[in-house]
Amino acid sequence: MNAPLTPFLDTSDFPDLQALTDGFATQRQASRAQTDVPLAWRRERLTRLLSLIDTHGPALAQAVQADFGVRSEALTEVADFFVLRATIGQLLRQLPKWMKPQRVGTPIYLQPAHAYIQRQPLGVVGVIGPWNYPLQLTLGPLAAAWAAGNRVMMKPSELTPRTSALLAELLHQHFDRADVQVVLGGADVAQAFADLPFDHLFFTGSTLVGRKVAQAAARNLTPTTLELGGKSPCIVDASCDLSEAAVKILHGKLLNGGQTCIAPDYIFVPKGQEAALEQALRAALVRLFGTSPVGHPDYASIATDRHHQRLQTLLDEARSLGAEVRELCEADRGGVSAHPRQFAPVLVLQPPAESRLMQEEIFGPILPVLSYERFEDVVAYINARPRPLALYWFGKDQAACQRVLHHTVSGGVTVNDTLMHIAHKGLPFGGVGDSGWGAYHGEIGFLRFTHQKGVFVQSPWALGHWFYPPYGKRLAQLLSVLRRLM
């Protein structure tokens, strides 16, 4: 698309704080003027958002490709649009049910009154999106917030500038700015954005930045949802079929060039099976990408030079500390040109615990391998570290699987696969501890952006006056009866 871009606020040179606050004031006024947001309003905007994705999906995918260097339209269709369509479809189907007041039982001492929970919009929701899935992780929260009847301000990542600018253009072209506004700019703009007194602030990104967002929100007592990251372990049990598991592990690790918050960050393998696992992973790589992923159009490049250099630094440090680094692919693609930021996948055997590779979220196609002898050692290692966003277990021994599930805490789990728990519409998705707080997707996501107001309706035949002073023998007798019934 060659039309001039007209974002709400282009702060590439300096933040226009007045425009930012004016935009927020517009949405706040709209949200306060319409606290009872009807089903038709919500469905109409979700339907138009779905139409925007269908109509402009190719242009958006091309923008993502241009930002990354290599990120095929097919990958964006699978990783961004497929999830978005499923999300919006579920919202459209389930909204009538989710919006209804929820009746709750009334205890005997308050009968014959009745009570219910009224589900209302929060007001204005801020969404700060990441660069790794720049469409799914900005438009998904937008859809959930709209389903709950809110107005939304969005700050997409400056690291995907073409995608962010096109999102701003399309959303402002197709929607009123009282419903959605997009703010463009860098870290200074993100800071000013997080300082606004939103009714809810939704952030997806690193734990380091998430702490800053939480601190900014706390100044306004703004509740937050923080979708962060962490080091998600993958446990291979002795009962596992390595050839079957390797394809699923490698797919989860290499999707989007490893730039996925729930990618397997390191893998535990039973002692003595290291060589077999390596061979299985090599065979899996051939199955997924042929002779080599480097040069393959479906193997995403690392998003920026800085991130690419960081991965190389992590590898170099691990090697200098004595870890064994092994490239998984041994051949190129027969002269096919590769993008300079396509990072060849590697295994790192037994990296030291003090290495940055084992201290930081990797966010790239580097897979550390740790061997173990006892289940207890695996659990102790995981539980001694910040709680991960995801955990993966592979094997056929269901008793061993249940031991892992009961003795570890993580944001989510997929058994005998990777990533798939995020694709299940009925499961909450979110972190715990350092990997974030608050979950969304499905009804959980709808409720994340909803105020649940308790409503008590007194009966004309209420006996509440029995509890009024002056207190005496009658109250004592009443309380004695009620204690036996409670």
User: Active-site positions?
Assistant: 227, 261
The set of residues, in sequence order, having a beta carbon less than 8 Å from that of 484 and lying 6+ positions away, is none
Residue 331 and residue 291 in contact, taking contact as beta carbons nearer than 8 Å: yes
Q: Give just the sign of the alpha carbon dihedral 82, 157, 445, 96.
A: negative
> 337 and 236 in contact (C-beta within 8 Å)?
no
From residue 401, give the alpha-carbon distance in Å to each of 22, 235, 239, 272, 375: 53, 10, 10, 21, 11
Q: Are 328 and 292 in contact (CB under 8 A)?
A: no
CB neighbourhood size of 309 (10 A): 12
Q: Residues near 106 by Cβ (< 8 Å), separated by ≥ 6?
A: 112, 113, 114, 115
Q: What is the dihedral of CA 410, 416, 422, 424, to 10 degrees?
A: -120
Q: Which of 273, 263, 262, 266 is nearest to 237 (CA)?
A: 273
Q: In Å, how far from its chain's centre is CA 296? A: 27
DSSP state of 433: G
Structural contact between residues 198 and 126, judged by C-beta atoms closer than 8 angstroms: yes
User: Do 314 and 362 touch, CB atoms closer than 8 A?
Assistant: yes
d(CA 170, CA 147): 20
Cα distances (Å, whole numbers) of residue 182 to 156, 364, 452, 486: 8, 29, 28, 53
Question: CA-based Rg of the chain, rounded to a whole angstrom?
Answer: 26
